[in-house]
Amino acid sequence: MDAEGLIYWPPDGGWPRRKWFADDVQGVALQSIWTDIAPVNSQAHDDTGFPTQKPEELIARLIHVSSNPSDLVLDCFIGSGTTAAVVQKLGRRWIGCDINKGAIQTTAKRLQTIIQEQIDKPVQTSLVESNDEKSPEPAQAAFTIWRVNDYDLAIQHNEAVNLACEHIGIQRSRTDAYFDGTVRKSLVKIVPFGHPLTPLDLEELKRELDARPDEDRPITLVCLGMELAAKTWIEDWNRLRKGKEAVNQISVIELRTDPKYGKFIKHEPARAKVTIARKKDQLVVEIEDVISPTILERLAQQAGLLQPKIDDWRAMVDCVMIDPAYDGKVFTVALSDVPEKKTDLVTGRYELPVSHGKTTVAVKIIDMLGEEVLVTHGLSG
Ligand SMILES: C[S@@+](CC[C@H](N)C(=O)[O-])C[C@H]1O[C@@H](n2cnc3c(N)ncnc32)[C@H](O)[C@@H]1O
């Protein structure tokens, strides 16, 4: 065996060992528990600091076995954007969703960086299946962030209680550990805005009322929305409590659809003032101001009585992208300003080459909460 080169002699004089070559072994079919991929290490170059970030190699294995280049991959719990990152590197298209704005922001930043690298110089990714396989072409070089809800579900419970009390005119209770206050003669419970009202919440309410046999006031539940099963639960509850003497009748204010009280969760979009001009062969884009009512509102809640003041609009902006020949549908990034460190700011003034003919310039500004403002401007030929 030694003559055939099959023995390994350790240099330190240890026991000789049998060599095995990759061609000799058939390999083992992957089982349902994978232990060969290490978790993301905090020193890794792609570590985003997101607490539940998965390793790209793990997601790449799933993508390889379940899709082909240019397929569309959906991850509806995108987190730090690992699926989108891997899919972008492997030439598939992607859709990512998340309830948390921080996750959207982390994903957007991560993907902007990857796409910018792909635009600057095609990079060979280590995520392909074998060393001699080339990286597939990117399926797209841009993405858009869509806000599909009018409200910010990451809203904290205390924030929700404060807002709801103010808008509905609830008298706060500081002593009751369960109910949040009263409105007219009714006891009020505010269901945390992070989830719709469910029968579990109602069972909890029932336990609470069972423990207060003398409590005869009606109950008002304030929630963003409610599950159908909760609606049925309440109908059954109220059916058993009909008539003048009935106690603890339940009524619900669904803020998401309530025409009277629901108004305060309307979203006021971010806006920007931008000048766009052609100077000879150059396109000159200058951002003069950006206003994000959501960020200001958030700061106001944190600051309490002090009015928040932001001297420089750039402190509200995460990144800026420019498409000098926007077709109205697909935003193709020709320039992107994504500060590397969180503390760095965008530049705000940009010059880039532009064609002589008629064109539409689009400028996309993404604020610190992941909200986009798109400004377009037509230039004549
Ligand atoms: C375990 S993390 C995903 C981690 C991701 N695979 C990565 O590598 O970063 C789960 C994500 O789902 C999001 N999430 C939880 N409930 C959600 C919902 N109802 N709709 C959308 N996203 C939700 C959370 O905000 C969180 O970012």
Q: What pLDDT, in 10s, does the model give residues 338-377?
A: 887 767 899 999 999 988 889 999 999 988 777 789 999 9
Answer whether residue 155 shows pLDDT above 70. Answer: no
Ligand 1 nearest-atom number relative to CA 79? 27
Using a 6 Å cutoff on CB, does residue 100 contact ligand 1? yes
In a domain? residue 72: yes
* pLDDT at residue 139, as a whole number: 92
Do residues 228 and 302 both lie within one domain? no
Residue at a domain's end among 72, 93, 120: 120
Do residues 56 and 85 both lie within one domain? yes
Answer whether residue 60 shows pLDDT above 90. Answer: yes
Provide the domain limits for residue 276. 271-379
Do residues 164 and 259 both lie within one domain? yes
Q: Tokens for 121, please give them.
A: 């110089």
In a domain? residue 141: no
Mean pLDDT of 12-17: 92
Kind plus residue range of the DSSP H or E element containing 207: helix 199-210
HSE (side-chain half, CA atoms, 13 Å) at 186: 18
Answer whether residue 154 shows pLDDT above 50. Answer: no
Do residues 255 and 276 both lie within one domain? no
* pLDDT at residue 205, as a whole number: 97
The domain spanning residue 277 has which CATH number? 2.60.40.730
pTM of the model: 0.56
143-152, 281-290, 320-329, 360-369, range with greatest mean pLDDT: 281-290
In a domain? residue 350: yes
Mean pLDDT of 222-233: 91
Out of 225-234, 257-266, 285-294, pick the least confident: 257-266
Answer whether residue 303 shows pLDDT above 70. Answer: no
Region for residue 323 given its phi and psi (left: phi exceeds 0; alpha: psi -120 to 50; beta: otherwise): beta
Out of 4-8, 102-106, 221-225, pick the least confident: 102-106
Using a 6 Å cutoff on CB, does residue 54 contact ligand 1? yes
Ligand 1: residue of 99, 104, 145, 227 to mutate (most ligand atoms within 8 A of CB) is 99
**pLDDT higher for 158 or 6?**
6
Strands in 317-323's sheet, in edge-to-edge order, are: 335-337, 317-323, 359-367, 372-379
Do residues 229 and 304 both lie within one domain? no
Minimum CA distance residue for ligand 1 atom 3: 79
* pLDDT at residue 239, as a whole number: 93
Using a 6 Å cutoff on CB, does residue 56 contact ligand 1? no
Mean pLDDT of 163-189: 89
12-21, 265-274, 290-299, range with greatest mean pLDDT: 12-21
Using a 6 Å cutoff on CB, does residue 79 contact ligand 1? yes
Using a 6 Å cutoff on CB, does residue 147 contact ligand 1? no
In a domain? residue 142: no
Per the structure, the count of domains in the chain is 3
Minimum CA distance residue for ligand 1 atom 20: 99
Minimum CA distance residue for ligand 1 atom 18: 99
Ligand 1 nearest-atom number relative to CA 75? 6
Minimum CA distance residue for ligand 1 atom 13: 77
Ligand 1 nearest-atom number relative to CA 50? 9
Do residues 234 and 327 both lie within one domain? no
